[in-house]
Amino acid sequence: MSGVFVTFEGGDGSGKTTQIQLLKKWLEDHGHTVVVTREPGGTDLGNELREIILHRKGFIAPRAEALLYAADRAHHIHTLVKPALERGEVVVQDRYLDSSLAYQGAGRVLDPNEVREVSLWATENLMPVLTVLLDVPADVAKKRQNALERAYDRLEAEAEDFHQRVRTSYQALADAEPERFLVIDGTLAIEAIHDQIIQKVSHLLS
Ligand code: TYD
């Protein structure tokens, strides 16, 4: 495959969307054809699965949840991402299998190695050449998401603990694969983050 597959990872509120849009514009300005996509979602079936995974009321068993993400991923990679890479395009994707490892792993119920195996089976082992991790402390991300400051209730405090575990998992993933990951302090200015990303991406494309 002649294309370039780049993924973005980070906690909720880490600024991925902003950086993905800036990178898209930069790539297009430099003559590349870019596909921006996301998981869960990115295809019609994916958007139906996304509704179920993120908005369905009620309990979803952890293994079922992991398989729903994997089903979304399998369809998305097969129908959208691989064809674009085969055409030689740049695919910039919001979340990929590292999200499953960090989030489903942080739930403490599933073994991250098993989650990884399921995901790799789903995608026939497709891995990104670069993964940008926007690292933001859980409390900063929380404040960004809440326009209004207010006292945390018990559930929100638990959620913050969960997001802390997600962050720790991401850091461990990045430490294990330093050549794939570019870890950036997500509390830096938007332009400073963008500069670090394009420095790495331009190197990859040259
Ligand atoms: P989304 O609204 O796309 O969040 P964000 O804008 O922060 O990317 O929701 C995606 C949510 O799904 C996010 O909370 C992380 C979670 N997720 C998983 O738990 N596992 C996965 O494999 C993926 C792709 C996402």
pLDDT digits (tens, 9 = 90+) for 113-139: 999 999 999 999 999 999 999 999 988
Using the mean position of ligand 1's atoms as its centre, give its distance from the Cα of residue 62 in Å. Answer: 15
To test the pocket of ligand 1, the residue of 8, 12, 18, 160 to mutate (highest count of ligand atoms within 8 Å of its CB) is 12
- At 3 the pLDDT is 97
- At 153 the pLDDT is 53
pLDDT level of residue 70 (50, 70, 90 thresholds): very high
Using the mean position of ligand 1's atoms as its centre, give its distance from the Cα of residue 53 in Å. Answer: 9
pLDDT exceeds 60 at position 143 = yes
Written out in words, the top-level CATH class of the domain with range 4-205 is alpha beta
Which atom of ligand 1 lies at the shortest distance from residue 104's CA?
Answer: 19
What residues have CB less than 8 Å from 13, skipping those under 6 apart? 136, 140, 141, 142, 144, 145
- Of 201, 189, 203, the closest CA to residue 34 belongs to 201
pLDDT exceeds 70 at position 155 = no
- At 184 the pLDDT is 98
- At 148 the pLDDT is 46
202 Cα distance to chain centroid: 21
Mean pLDDT of 19-43: 98
Using the mean position of ligand 1's atoms as its centre, give its distance from the Cα of residue 172 in Å. Answer: 19
Using the mean position of ligand 1's atoms as its centre, give its distance from the Cα of residue 50 in Å. Answer: 9
Domain locations along the chain: 4-205
Mean pLDDT of 196-203: 98
pLDDT exceeds 80 at position 18 = yes
Using the mean position of ligand 1's atoms as its centre, give its distance from the Cα of residue 103 in Å. Answer: 8
pTM (predicted TM-score): 0.93
- At 26 the pLDDT is 98
Residue type, 148: L
- Please tell me the residue having the least CA distance from ligand 1 atom 8: 12
- At 142 the pLDDT is 80
Which atom of ligand 1 lies at the shortest distance from residue 97's CA?
Answer: 22
Using the mean position of ligand 1's atoms as its centre, give its distance from the Cα of residue 33 in Å. Answer: 25
What are the residue ranges of helices labelled H in 59-147? 62-76, 82-86, 97-99, 105-106, 112-123, 138-145
- At 156 the pLDDT is 55
Mean pLDDT of 164-174: 95
State the chain's mean pLDDT as an integer: 92
Question: What is the CB < 6 Å shell around ligand 1?
Answer: 12, 39-40, 54, 69, 94-95, 99-100, 103-104
- At 106 the pLDDT is 86
- The pLDDT tens digits of the residues spanning 73-119 come to 999 999 999 999 999 999 999 999 999 999 998 888 899 999 999 99
